[in-house]
Amino acid sequence: MRFEGLAPGRESGAATLSFAARVVPMLVRGGIRSLLLGTSTGRLFVGRRVRFSHSSRISHTGRLVIEDGVEMQGHARRGLRFGADVSIGPGTMIRPSSYYGGEIGEGLVVGDRSSMGAGCFIGCSGFISIGDDVMLGPGVRVFSENHRFDSTAATIKSQGVDRGTVTIGDDCWIASGVTITANVTIGRGVIVGAGSVVTNDLPDFAIAAGSPARVLRIRG
């Protein structure tokens, strides 16, 4: 980042002050919020307008960065568990359960050094497992349930849902705008192209794209 008009030697100082002005309040908010979490080891950084519910079911075991406007709901049987050096981008929503009643969700586990870009939606009513070193691009959507619709005599909404699981292996890059549906396993080292819809399992080291996503080739 450049700061035009500053004398040589002052530019880095200004950048440091700007960085501190953002990070220090996040660290202070994190320190307060960490007192409410189930387990909180390592530093917690919390942005502005972040909303937690059922905080006691949220845990992290290393540095966790939660940026502005994130909504994180811990109302889940297995809670929300984050590893070390995880970052959650602004505007991301993590929802295992409805705010308006109904069955409690299953939850989410995220491995070390994984990240979610801005505006992701993680619907973990069924269980979602995300491995280490996974990158979810902006606007990635992960769903672990499907609506039932067998009957035409009842509304789709009234027929309830079938819950499943989603597993994303280590070292994956899920590009921006990808949708992942329930009962999908994505192997280790997979790359999924932007805007794809993943409805079936993908093997280790696959490069996949499309709607539905198809394997284009295997890496290596």
Query: Tokens standing for 140?
Result: 């990635």
Q: How confident is the model at residue 4 (pLDDT cuts 50, 70, 90)?
A: very low
Query: Could you say which of 2.160.10.10, 2.60.15.10, 3.40.190.10, 2.40.420.20 is the CATH number of the domain covering 11-218?
Result: 2.160.10.10
Kindly tell me if the per-residue pLDDT of 130 is higher than 90: yes
Q: Is the pLDDT of residue 161 over 70?
A: yes
Rounded to the nearest integer, the mean pLDDT of the chain is: 92
Ordered by start, the domain boundaries in the chain are: 11-218
pLDDT of 212 reads: 97
pLDDT in tens, 9-26: 556 677 677 777 788 999
The pLDDT assigned to 19 comes to 72
CA angle 163, 166, 167 (to 5 degrees): 150
Instruction: Check if the beta carbon of residue 192 is closer than 8 Å to that of residue 171.
Output: no
For the stretch 55-91, pLDDT in tens is 999 999 999 999 999 999 999 999 999 999 999 999 9
Q: CB of 210 within 8 A of CB of 194?
A: no
Do residues 73 and 95 touch, judged by C-beta distance below 8 A?
Answer: yes
- Examine the pLDDT at 165 and tell me if it is beyond 80: yes
